[in-house]
A and B are shown apart, each in its own frame.
Chain A
Amino acid sequence: MNNKSDSFEHSEIISAYLDGEVTEEERAFIEENPDLLKEVEKLKEIQEVTSSPIPIDPLLQEKHLAKALSSLPKGGKVIPLRQQKMVQRGTLLAVAAAAVAFILVPVINSQNNESSSESDLATGFIENSTSATKSSQSAETQESEDAPVVPESVQEDGTATEASRNSQASQNNEPESEAATDSSAPTAAAEAPEDEAVGEMEEEAMEVAQEENEVEAQQLASSEETAGELSSRVFVQEAETINSLFETANNIWETNNDIFSSPLTLNQIENFFSENTDFLTCWTDESFFDASLRTPLFLQQLMINGSPSVVLISENLQSALNPVLSVYQVDSSCFLFFEGPISGEIPSE
Chain B
Amino acid sequence: MEDQISDRLLIENALNALPDEFKIPLILRDQTGMNYQEISFVLSLPEGTVKSRIARARERLKVELSGNQRVDQNVKGLEHE
Ranked nearest first, the 7 interchain pairs of A and B with the lowest CB-CB distance are A15-B55, A51-B30, A12-B55, A50-B30, A11-B55, A21-B36, A49-B11
Residues of chain A within 8 A (CB-CB) of B26 are 50
Within the assembled complex, what's the spacing in Å between the Cα atoms of A55 and B59? 24
Report which B residues bind A (CB closer than 8 A). 7-8, 11-12, 15, 26-27, 29-31, 35-36, 51-52, 54-56, 58-59, 61-62, 65
Within the assembled complex, what's the spacing in Å between the Cα atoms of A96 and B65? 62
Shortest CB distance B53–A (Å): 10
Of residues 11 through 42 on chain A, the ones whose CB sits less than 8 Å from some CB of chain B are: 11-12, 14-16, 19, 21, 42
Report which A residues bind B (CB closer than 8 A). 8, 11-12, 14-16, 19, 21, 42-43, 46-47, 49-51, 54-55
Interface of B is mostly: helix
Inter-chain contact B51/A15, CB cutoff 8 Å: yes
Residues of chain A within 8 A (CB-CB) of B31 are 50-51, 54
Residues of chain B within 8 A (CB-CB) of A16 are 36, 51, 54-55
The listed residue (B8, B35, B36, B58) touching A43 by CB distance below 8 A is B58
Residues of chain B within 8 A (CB-CB) of A54 are 12, 31
Inter-chain contact B58/A15, CB cutoff 8 Å: yes
Nearest B residue to A49 by beta-carbon distance?
Answer: B11
Inter-chain contact A47/B62, CB cutoff 8 Å: no
Within the assembled complex, what's the spacing in Å between the Cα atoms of A54 and B36? 22
Within the assembled complex, what's the spacing in Å between the Cα atoms of A244 and B51? 64
Inter-chain contact A50/B54, CB cutoff 8 Å: no
Within the assembled complex, what's the spacing in Å between the Cα atoms of A55 and B1? 13
Between A14, A15, A42, the greatest number of chain B beta carbons within 10 A of the residue's beta carbon is seen for A15
Inter-chain contact B55/A50, CB cutoff 8 Å: no
The listed residue (B8, B27, B61) touching A46 by CB distance below 8 A is B61
Nearest A residue to B27 by beta-carbon distance?
Answer: A50
A-B contacts, 11 of them at CB < 8 A, read A12-B51, A14-B55, A15-B54, A15-B55, A15-B58, A16-B54, A43-B62, A46-B61, A47-B30, A50-B26, A55-B8
Residues of chain B within 8 A (CB-CB) of A11 are 55-56, 58-59
